[in-house]
Structure 1
Amino acid sequence: MMDLIAVNVTEEDKQIVSGRDLHMFLEIGTQYTKWFERMCEYGFSENVDFRAVSQKRLTAQGNESTFIDHELTIDMAKQLCMLARNDKGKQAREYFIQIERDWNSPEKVMGRALKIANNVINNQKITIAQQNQQLQELQPKATYYDLVLQNTSLLSITQIAKDFGLSARRLNQILKDKGVQYKQSDQWFLYQKYADKGYTSSKTTALDAERSVMHTYWTQKGRLFIYELLKSMNILPLIEQVA
Protein backbone atom coordinates (compact mmCIF):
# COMPACT_ATOMS: atom_id res chain seq x y z
CA MET A 1 0.00 0.00 0.00
CA MET A 2 1.31 3.43 -0.97
CA ASP A 3 2.38 5.57 1.98
CA LEU A 4 0.17 8.62 1.70
CA ILE A 5 1.30 10.05 5.03
CA ALA A 6 4.28 8.95 7.10
CA VAL A 7 3.33 6.87 10.15
CA ASN A 8 6.02 6.53 12.79
CA VAL A 9 6.31 4.29 15.86
CA THR A 10 7.31 5.67 19.28
CA GLU A 11 9.53 4.00 21.86
CA GLU A 12 6.31 3.00 23.62
CA ASP A 13 5.36 1.07 20.46
CA LYS A 14 2.55 3.46 19.47
CA GLN A 15 1.81 4.70 15.96
CA ILE A 16 1.84 8.47 15.45
CA VAL A 17 1.28 10.92 12.61
CA SER A 18 2.66 14.43 12.17
CA GLY A 19 -0.07 17.04 12.48
CA ARG A 20 1.63 19.25 9.91
CA ASP A 21 1.98 16.35 7.44
CA LEU A 22 -1.72 15.61 7.78
CA HIS A 23 -2.61 19.31 7.48
CA MET A 24 -0.63 19.50 4.23
CA PHE A 25 -2.12 16.31 2.78
CA LEU A 26 -5.68 17.45 3.52
CA GLU A 27 -4.91 20.71 1.70
CA ILE A 28 -6.30 22.83 4.50
CA GLY A 29 -6.28 26.49 3.53
CA THR A 30 -6.16 27.77 7.12
CA GLN A 31 -2.77 28.33 8.80
CA TYR A 32 -1.69 25.19 10.68
CA THR A 33 -1.61 26.64 14.20
CA LYS A 34 -5.07 28.24 13.83
CA TRP A 35 -6.48 25.08 12.25
CA PHE A 36 -5.09 22.87 15.00
CA GLU A 37 -6.43 25.13 17.75
CA ARG A 38 -9.88 24.94 16.16
CA MET A 39 -9.68 21.14 15.83
CA CYS A 40 -8.84 20.82 19.54
CA GLU A 41 -12.23 22.37 20.31
CA TYR A 42 -13.77 19.03 19.29
CA GLY A 43 -12.51 17.55 22.56
CA PHE A 44 -9.01 16.28 21.79
CA SER A 45 -6.71 16.18 24.83
CA GLU A 46 -2.98 16.80 24.97
CA ASN A 47 -0.86 13.80 26.07
CA VAL A 48 -3.85 11.56 25.29
CA ASP A 49 -4.70 12.23 21.64
CA PHE A 50 -1.66 14.29 20.71
CA ARG A 51 1.67 15.61 21.96
CA ALA A 52 3.28 18.93 21.05
CA VAL A 53 6.85 18.66 19.75
CA SER A 54 9.39 21.33 18.85
CA GLN A 55 10.94 21.12 15.38
CA LYS A 56 13.66 23.13 13.63
CA ARG A 57 14.01 24.15 10.00
CA LEU A 58 15.89 26.57 7.80
CA THR A 59 14.19 29.69 6.46
CA ALA A 60 14.56 30.95 2.90
CA GLN A 61 17.27 33.25 4.21
CA GLY A 62 19.23 30.31 5.60
CA ASN A 63 18.40 31.04 9.23
CA GLU A 64 17.29 28.34 11.65
CA SER A 65 13.82 28.75 13.11
CA THR A 66 11.78 26.70 15.57
CA PHE A 67 8.17 25.67 15.02
CA ILE A 68 5.65 23.53 16.82
CA ASP A 69 4.34 20.27 15.38
CA HIS A 70 2.08 17.66 16.95
CA GLU A 71 2.32 13.90 17.15
CA LEU A 72 -1.20 12.56 16.63
CA THR A 73 -2.60 9.16 17.46
CA ILE A 74 -4.10 7.22 14.56
CA ASP A 75 -7.56 7.63 16.12
CA MET A 76 -7.22 11.43 16.22
CA ALA A 77 -5.85 11.48 12.69
CA LYS A 78 -8.91 9.52 11.44
CA GLN A 79 -11.30 11.91 13.15
CA LEU A 80 -9.52 14.95 11.68
CA CYS A 81 -9.90 13.37 8.26
CA MET A 82 -13.66 13.10 8.79
CA LEU A 83 -13.82 16.74 9.92
CA ALA A 84 -12.06 17.82 6.70
CA ARG A 85 -15.16 16.78 4.70
CA ASN A 86 -13.34 16.45 1.39
CA ASP A 87 -12.00 13.70 -0.87
CA LYS A 88 -8.54 14.02 0.63
CA GLY A 89 -10.01 13.43 4.08
CA LYS A 90 -11.84 10.31 2.90
CA GLN A 91 -8.71 8.99 1.19
CA ALA A 92 -6.52 9.60 4.26
CA ARG A 93 -9.08 8.05 6.62
CA GLU A 94 -9.24 4.83 4.56
CA TYR A 95 -5.45 4.82 4.52
CA PHE A 96 -5.27 5.03 8.32
CA ILE A 97 -7.90 2.29 8.70
CA GLN A 98 -5.76 0.00 6.56
CA ILE A 99 -2.68 0.97 8.58
CA GLU A 100 -4.52 -0.08 11.76
CA ARG A 101 -5.63 -3.38 10.27
CA ASP A 102 -2.09 -4.21 9.29
CA TRP A 103 -0.76 -3.10 12.70
CA ASN A 104 -3.27 -5.30 14.52
CA SER A 105 -2.80 -8.38 12.33
CA PRO A 106 -1.86 -11.55 14.27
CA GLU A 107 1.57 -11.58 12.63
CA LYS A 108 2.36 -7.99 13.61
CA VAL A 109 0.98 -8.43 17.12
CA MET A 110 3.08 -11.56 17.60
CA GLY A 111 6.15 -9.80 16.20
CA ARG A 112 5.75 -6.94 18.68
CA ALA A 113 5.18 -9.38 21.52
CA LEU A 114 8.39 -11.25 20.65
CA LYS A 115 10.27 -7.95 20.45
CA ILE A 116 9.03 -6.97 23.91
CA ALA A 117 9.92 -10.42 25.27
CA ASN A 118 13.43 -10.18 23.82
CA ASN A 119 13.87 -6.72 25.33
CA VAL A 120 12.76 -8.04 28.72
CA ILE A 121 15.20 -10.97 28.47
CA ASN A 122 18.05 -8.69 27.45
CA ASN A 123 17.27 -6.30 30.29
CA GLN A 124 17.23 -9.24 32.71
CA LYS A 125 20.60 -10.42 31.41
CA ILE A 126 22.03 -6.95 31.93
CA THR A 127 20.55 -6.78 35.44
CA ILE A 128 21.96 -10.21 36.33
CA ALA A 129 25.39 -9.26 34.96
CA GLN A 130 25.34 -6.03 36.98
CA GLN A 131 24.29 -7.89 40.14
CA ASN A 132 27.00 -10.52 39.63
CA GLN A 133 29.64 -7.84 39.23
CA GLN A 134 28.40 -6.03 42.34
CA LEU A 135 28.50 -9.29 44.31
CA GLN A 136 32.05 -9.91 43.15
CA GLU A 137 33.02 -6.38 44.16
CA LEU A 138 31.40 -6.83 47.58
CA GLN A 139 33.25 -10.07 48.26
CA PRO A 140 36.37 -9.34 50.31
CA LYS A 141 39.76 -10.11 48.86
CA ALA A 142 41.13 -13.48 49.96
CA THR A 143 43.15 -13.01 53.12
CA TYR A 144 45.94 -14.97 54.67
CA TYR A 145 43.42 -16.27 57.22
CA ASP A 146 41.33 -17.72 54.38
CA LEU A 147 44.29 -19.64 53.02
CA VAL A 148 45.26 -20.94 56.44
CA LEU A 149 41.75 -22.11 57.32
CA GLN A 150 41.58 -24.06 54.06
CA ASN A 151 44.80 -25.91 54.87
CA THR A 152 45.38 -28.59 57.50
CA SER A 153 48.90 -29.72 56.63
CA LEU A 154 52.12 -29.03 58.53
CA LEU A 155 54.51 -26.45 57.12
CA SER A 156 58.21 -25.85 57.32
CA ILE A 157 59.51 -22.43 58.33
CA THR A 158 60.74 -22.05 54.74
CA GLN A 159 57.20 -22.42 53.38
CA ILE A 160 55.78 -19.89 55.83
CA ALA A 161 58.60 -17.45 55.14
CA LYS A 162 57.78 -17.50 51.42
CA ASP A 163 54.25 -16.29 52.21
CA PHE A 164 55.81 -13.04 53.45
CA GLY A 165 58.56 -12.76 50.88
CA LEU A 166 61.16 -13.62 53.52
CA SER A 167 63.91 -16.19 53.76
CA ALA A 168 63.76 -18.96 56.35
CA ARG A 169 66.87 -17.52 58.00
CA ARG A 170 65.28 -14.08 58.30
CA LEU A 171 62.04 -15.43 59.76
CA ASN A 172 63.87 -17.65 62.23
CA GLN A 173 65.86 -14.63 63.35
CA ILE A 174 62.70 -12.58 63.86
CA LEU A 175 61.16 -15.35 65.97
CA LYS A 176 64.36 -15.52 67.99
CA ASP A 177 64.48 -11.75 68.51
CA LYS A 178 60.85 -11.81 69.65
CA GLY A 179 61.58 -14.47 72.25
CA VAL A 180 59.56 -17.18 70.55
CA GLN A 181 62.35 -19.68 69.90
CA TYR A 182 66.00 -20.36 70.57
CA LYS A 183 68.64 -22.37 68.80
CA GLN A 184 70.61 -25.24 70.31
CA SER A 185 72.94 -27.56 68.41
CA ASP A 186 71.63 -26.23 65.11
CA GLN A 187 68.04 -26.98 66.08
CA TRP A 188 65.26 -24.52 66.88
CA PHE A 189 63.16 -24.97 70.01
CA LEU A 190 60.21 -22.95 71.29
CA TYR A 191 60.50 -21.28 74.65
CA GLN A 192 58.29 -22.85 77.30
CA LYS A 193 55.85 -19.94 77.00
CA TYR A 194 54.93 -21.12 73.50
CA ALA A 195 55.82 -24.81 73.65
CA ASP A 196 52.41 -25.98 74.83
CA LYS A 197 50.29 -23.82 72.48
CA GLY A 198 50.09 -26.35 69.68
CA TYR A 199 52.10 -24.14 67.36
CA THR A 200 54.54 -26.83 66.24
CA SER A 201 54.76 -30.53 65.56
CA SER A 202 58.27 -32.00 65.67
CA LYS A 203 59.56 -35.02 63.84
CA THR A 204 62.75 -36.83 64.82
CA THR A 205 64.85 -38.53 62.19
CA ALA A 206 67.55 -41.01 63.18
CA LEU A 207 70.88 -40.39 61.50
CA ASP A 208 72.54 -43.48 62.90
CA ALA A 209 72.47 -45.63 66.04
CA GLU A 210 73.68 -42.77 68.20
CA ARG A 211 72.55 -39.65 66.47
CA SER A 212 69.19 -38.16 65.54
CA VAL A 213 67.94 -34.81 64.36
CA MET A 214 64.65 -33.14 65.10
CA HIS A 215 62.78 -31.19 62.43
CA THR A 216 60.26 -28.62 63.59
CA TYR A 217 57.12 -28.11 61.52
CA TRP A 218 54.51 -25.46 62.15
CA THR A 219 50.82 -26.25 62.48
CA GLN A 220 48.16 -24.01 60.96
CA LYS A 221 47.60 -22.57 64.44
CA GLY A 222 51.31 -21.78 64.62
CA ARG A 223 51.14 -20.28 61.16
CA LEU A 224 48.44 -17.87 62.32
CA PHE A 225 50.51 -17.03 65.39
CA ILE A 226 53.42 -16.05 63.15
CA TYR A 227 51.01 -14.08 60.96
CA GLU A 228 49.76 -12.04 63.92
CA LEU A 229 53.30 -11.51 65.21
CA LEU A 230 54.60 -10.24 61.88
CA LYS A 231 51.49 -8.16 61.32
CA SER A 232 52.22 -6.31 64.58
CA MET A 233 55.57 -5.46 63.00
CA ASN A 234 53.86 -4.21 59.80
CA ILE A 235 55.10 -7.24 57.89
CA LEU A 236 52.19 -8.57 55.83
CA PRO A 237 51.93 -11.68 53.66
CA LEU A 238 52.28 -11.05 49.94
CA ILE A 239 48.57 -11.69 49.37
CA GLU A 240 47.64 -8.78 51.61
CA GLN A 241 50.29 -6.34 50.46
CA VAL A 242 49.07 -3.37 48.43
CA ALA A 243 50.67 -3.25 45.00
Structure 2
Amino acid sequence: MNNLQIFEKMEFGQIRMVEVDKKPYFVATDIAKCLGYANTSKAINDHCRWVTKSYIPHPQNENKVLEVNAIPESDMYRLIVNSKLPNAEKFESWVFDEVLPTIRETGGYIQTTNDMSDDEIMARALQVAQRKIESKNRELEEKNRFINQIASSKNSLLVREVAKVISKSNGIIIGEKRLYEKLRLWGLVFKNSTEPKQLAVDKGYLETVEGTRETSTGVFTYRTTRVTGKGQEYILKRLLKEDEEQISMLS
Protein backbone atom coordinates (compact mmCIF):
# COMPACT_ATOMS: atom_id res chain seq x y z
CA MET A 1 0.00 0.00 0.00
CA ASN A 2 1.28 3.46 -0.88
CA ASN A 3 2.63 5.76 1.81
CA LEU A 4 0.18 8.40 2.99
CA GLN A 5 0.83 11.99 4.04
CA ILE A 6 -1.93 14.34 5.17
CA PHE A 7 -1.84 18.12 4.91
CA GLU A 8 -4.48 20.30 6.49
CA LYS A 9 -5.36 23.98 6.56
CA MET A 10 -8.44 25.30 8.31
CA GLU A 11 -9.30 27.58 5.40
CA PHE A 12 -9.49 24.73 2.88
CA GLY A 13 -9.64 21.40 4.67
CA GLN A 14 -7.55 18.28 4.23
CA ILE A 15 -5.59 16.92 1.27
CA ARG A 16 -4.05 13.46 1.26
CA MET A 17 -0.91 12.59 -0.67
CA VAL A 18 0.18 9.10 -1.69
CA GLU A 19 3.26 7.80 -3.45
CA VAL A 20 2.80 6.33 -6.93
CA ASP A 21 5.92 5.14 -8.74
CA LYS A 22 7.97 7.19 -6.26
CA LYS A 23 6.13 10.38 -7.23
CA PRO A 24 3.62 12.39 -5.18
CA TYR A 25 -0.02 11.92 -6.16
CA PHE A 26 -2.99 13.60 -4.49
CA VAL A 27 -6.45 12.25 -3.69
CA ALA A 28 -8.44 13.89 -6.46
CA THR A 29 -11.64 14.50 -4.50
CA ASP A 30 -9.67 16.26 -1.75
CA ILE A 31 -8.25 18.78 -4.24
CA ALA A 32 -11.60 19.29 -5.98
CA LYS A 33 -13.42 19.88 -2.68
CA CYS A 34 -10.80 22.36 -1.45
CA LEU A 35 -11.20 24.27 -4.72
CA GLY A 36 -14.95 24.57 -4.32
CA TYR A 37 -16.14 22.31 -7.14
CA ALA A 38 -19.80 21.44 -6.53
CA ASN A 39 -19.55 18.28 -8.65
CA THR A 40 -16.13 16.84 -7.84
CA SER A 41 -16.51 13.82 -10.13
CA LYS A 42 -17.33 16.01 -13.13
CA ALA A 43 -14.44 18.37 -12.34
CA ILE A 44 -12.01 15.46 -12.21
CA ASN A 45 -13.36 13.97 -15.45
CA ASP A 46 -13.28 17.35 -17.23
CA HIS A 47 -9.87 18.59 -16.16
CA CYS A 48 -7.65 15.66 -15.11
CA ARG A 49 -5.72 13.52 -17.58
CA TRP A 50 -3.73 11.11 -15.43
CA VAL A 51 -6.16 9.74 -12.84
CA THR A 52 -4.98 6.46 -11.31
CA LYS A 53 -6.39 4.13 -8.68
CA SER A 54 -4.57 4.02 -5.36
CA TYR A 55 -5.15 2.61 -1.89
CA ILE A 56 -4.91 4.37 1.46
CA PRO A 57 -5.50 3.23 5.07
CA HIS A 58 -9.11 3.27 6.23
CA PRO A 59 -9.48 6.06 8.84
CA GLN A 60 -11.76 3.98 11.08
CA ASN A 61 -10.42 0.46 10.57
CA GLU A 62 -6.71 -0.31 10.38
CA ASN A 63 -7.47 -3.69 8.79
CA LYS A 64 -9.18 -2.12 5.78
CA VAL A 65 -8.11 0.11 2.91
CA LEU A 66 -9.90 2.67 0.76
CA GLU A 67 -9.65 2.81 -3.02
CA VAL A 68 -9.24 6.41 -4.22
CA ASN A 69 -8.57 8.29 -7.43
CA ALA A 70 -5.14 9.89 -7.28
CA ILE A 71 -3.75 12.62 -9.54
CA PRO A 72 -0.24 13.99 -10.16
CA GLU A 73 0.88 17.61 -9.70
CA SER A 74 0.03 18.48 -13.31
CA ASP A 75 -3.63 17.51 -12.84
CA MET A 76 -3.79 19.33 -9.52
CA TYR A 77 -2.56 22.42 -11.37
CA ARG A 78 -5.34 21.98 -13.97
CA LEU A 79 -7.97 21.87 -11.23
CA ILE A 80 -6.52 25.03 -9.68
CA VAL A 81 -6.52 27.11 -12.86
CA ASN A 82 -10.08 26.05 -13.75
CA SER A 83 -11.51 26.73 -10.30
CA LYS A 84 -13.93 29.65 -9.87
CA LEU A 85 -13.32 29.76 -6.11
CA PRO A 86 -12.23 33.28 -5.06
CA ASN A 87 -9.63 31.71 -2.76
CA ALA A 88 -8.20 29.42 -5.45
CA GLU A 89 -5.11 31.62 -5.63
CA LYS A 90 -4.62 31.30 -1.87
CA PHE A 91 -5.00 27.53 -2.15
CA GLU A 92 -2.39 27.54 -4.92
CA SER A 93 0.00 29.52 -2.71
CA TRP A 94 -0.52 27.09 0.17
CA VAL A 95 0.17 24.07 -2.04
CA PHE A 96 3.14 25.50 -3.90
CA ASP A 97 4.69 27.41 -1.01
CA GLU A 98 4.13 24.90 1.82
CA VAL A 99 2.78 21.48 0.83
CA LEU A 100 5.01 20.63 -2.14
CA PRO A 101 8.23 21.98 -0.57
CA THR A 102 7.50 19.82 2.48
CA ILE A 103 7.09 16.77 0.25
CA ARG A 104 10.34 17.61 -1.55
CA GLU A 105 12.23 18.01 1.72
CA THR A 106 10.95 14.74 3.15
CA GLY A 107 10.95 12.97 -0.21
CA GLY A 108 12.31 9.52 -0.73
CA TYR A 109 9.87 7.92 1.65
CA ILE A 110 12.30 5.69 3.52
CA GLN A 111 10.38 2.54 4.39
CA THR A 112 11.68 0.64 7.41
CA THR A 113 10.57 -2.30 9.50
CA ASN A 114 11.13 -3.12 13.15
CA ASP A 115 13.56 -5.93 12.34
CA MET A 116 15.89 -3.73 10.24
CA SER A 117 19.28 -2.97 11.74
CA ASP A 118 20.70 0.55 12.03
CA ASP A 119 23.15 -0.26 9.22
CA GLU A 120 20.31 -1.36 6.93
CA ILE A 121 18.33 1.80 7.67
CA MET A 122 21.41 3.95 7.04
CA ALA A 123 22.13 2.16 3.76
CA ARG A 124 18.57 2.77 2.59
CA ALA A 125 18.78 6.43 3.61
CA LEU A 126 21.99 6.83 1.58
CA GLN A 127 20.27 5.32 -1.44
CA VAL A 128 17.42 7.80 -1.09
CA ALA A 129 19.87 10.70 -0.77
CA GLN A 130 21.69 9.59 -3.90
CA ARG A 131 18.42 9.39 -5.84
CA LYS A 132 17.53 12.89 -4.71
CA ILE A 133 20.92 14.23 -5.88
CA GLU A 134 20.53 12.53 -9.28
CA SER A 135 17.00 13.87 -9.59
CA LYS A 136 18.17 17.39 -8.77
CA ASN A 137 20.87 17.18 -11.44
CA ARG A 138 18.30 16.13 -14.05
CA GLU A 139 16.03 19.00 -13.02
CA LEU A 140 18.89 21.48 -13.40
CA GLU A 141 19.54 20.27 -16.94
CA GLU A 142 15.87 20.82 -17.81
CA LYS A 143 15.93 24.31 -16.29
CA ASN A 144 18.97 25.26 -18.32
CA ARG A 145 17.19 24.26 -21.51
CA PHE A 146 14.12 26.27 -20.50
CA ILE A 147 16.24 29.34 -19.76
CA ASN A 148 17.57 29.25 -23.31
CA GLN A 149 13.99 29.16 -24.62
CA ILE A 150 12.76 32.23 -22.75
CA ALA A 151 15.97 34.27 -23.06
CA SER A 152 14.75 35.71 -26.38
CA SER A 153 11.14 36.20 -25.24
CA LYS A 154 9.70 39.65 -25.98
CA ASN A 155 6.45 39.11 -24.09
CA SER A 156 6.13 40.41 -20.54
CA LEU A 157 4.13 38.40 -18.00
CA LEU A 158 2.39 39.08 -14.72
CA VAL A 159 4.35 37.89 -11.68
CA ARG A 160 1.58 35.35 -11.08
CA GLU A 161 1.99 34.00 -14.61
CA VAL A 162 5.77 33.76 -14.25
CA ALA A 163 5.36 31.75 -11.05
CA LYS A 164 2.98 29.35 -12.78
CA VAL A 165 5.24 28.90 -15.82
CA ILE A 166 8.25 28.23 -13.62
CA SER A 167 6.37 25.73 -11.44
CA LYS A 168 4.81 23.95 -14.41
CA SER A 169 7.85 23.76 -16.68
CA ASN A 170 10.82 23.58 -14.34
CA GLY A 171 9.83 21.77 -11.20
CA ILE A 172 10.73 24.81 -9.10
CA ILE A 173 7.81 24.96 -6.70
CA ILE A 174 7.00 28.63 -6.21
CA GLY A 175 3.75 30.60 -6.08
CA GLU A 176 3.03 34.27 -6.69
CA LYS A 177 3.38 35.20 -3.01
CA ARG A 178 6.74 33.51 -2.61
CA LEU A 179 8.04 34.90 -5.91
CA TYR A 180 7.18 38.44 -4.79
CA GLU A 181 9.06 37.72 -1.55
CA LYS A 182 12.07 36.73 -3.66
CA LEU A 183 11.83 39.92 -5.74
CA ARG A 184 11.78 41.99 -2.54
CA LEU A 185 14.72 40.04 -1.13
CA TRP A 186 16.68 40.63 -4.33
CA GLY A 187 15.99 44.37 -4.11
CA LEU A 188 13.77 44.55 -7.20
CA VAL A 189 10.43 45.33 -5.52
CA PHE A 190 9.65 47.65 -2.61
CA LYS A 191 9.03 46.11 0.82
CA ASN A 192 5.34 45.37 1.56
CA SER A 193 4.48 46.35 -2.02
CA THR A 194 4.23 44.95 -5.54
CA GLU A 195 5.72 48.10 -7.08
CA PRO A 196 9.08 47.62 -8.80
CA LYS A 197 12.08 49.68 -7.77
CA GLN A 198 13.67 51.97 -10.32
CA LEU A 199 16.72 49.68 -10.37
CA ALA A 200 14.59 46.79 -11.68
CA VAL A 201 13.07 49.03 -14.34
CA ASP A 202 16.45 50.45 -15.40
CA LYS A 203 17.90 46.96 -15.76
CA GLY A 204 14.94 45.93 -17.90
CA TYR A 205 13.74 43.20 -15.54
CA LEU A 206 10.37 44.66 -14.57
CA GLU A 207 7.95 47.18 -16.04
CA THR A 208 4.80 48.94 -14.90
CA VAL A 209 1.70 48.99 -17.10
CA GLU A 210 -1.13 51.41 -16.41
CA GLY A 211 -4.77 50.62 -17.01
CA THR A 212 -8.22 51.93 -16.13
CA ARG A 213 -11.16 50.27 -14.44
CA GLU A 214 -14.69 51.59 -14.41
CA THR A 215 -16.79 51.05 -11.29
CA SER A 216 -20.08 52.37 -10.00
CA THR A 217 -18.25 55.28 -8.35
CA GLY A 218 -16.11 56.31 -11.30
CA VAL A 219 -13.06 55.42 -13.39
CA PHE A 220 -9.85 54.46 -11.61
CA THR A 221 -6.31 54.15 -12.87
CA TYR A 222 -4.28 51.17 -11.67
CA ARG A 223 -0.68 50.07 -12.14
CA THR A 224 0.37 46.48 -12.77
CA THR A 225 3.87 45.03 -12.41
CA ARG A 226 4.99 42.78 -15.26
CA VAL A 227 8.15 40.74 -15.82
CA THR A 228 9.99 41.23 -19.12
CA GLY A 229 11.66 38.40 -21.04
CA LYS A 230 14.98 39.56 -19.65
CA GLY A 231 13.48 39.57 -16.16
CA GLN A 232 12.11 36.05 -16.59
CA GLU A 233 15.59 34.87 -17.53
CA TYR A 234 17.09 36.65 -14.52
CA ILE A 235 14.56 35.11 -12.13
CA LEU A 236 15.15 31.60 -13.45
CA LYS A 237 18.91 31.96 -13.19
CA ARG A 238 18.66 33.19 -9.60
CA LEU A 239 16.40 30.29 -8.65
CA LEU A 240 18.68 27.89 -10.52
CA LYS A 241 21.63 29.15 -8.52
CA GLU A 242 19.74 28.49 -5.29
CA ASP A 243 19.03 24.94 -6.47
CA GLU A 244 22.71 24.41 -7.21
CA GLU A 245 23.55 25.53 -3.70
CA GLN A 246 21.06 23.03 -2.30
CA ILE A 247 22.70 20.24 -4.32
CA SER A 248 26.10 21.25 -2.94
CA MET A 249 24.70 20.91 0.56
CA LEU A 250 23.41 17.40 -0.25
CA SER A 251 26.69 16.27 -1.79
TM-score, length of structure 1 as denominator length: 0.34
Max radius of gyration: which structure? 1
TM-score, length of structure 2 as denominator length: 0.33
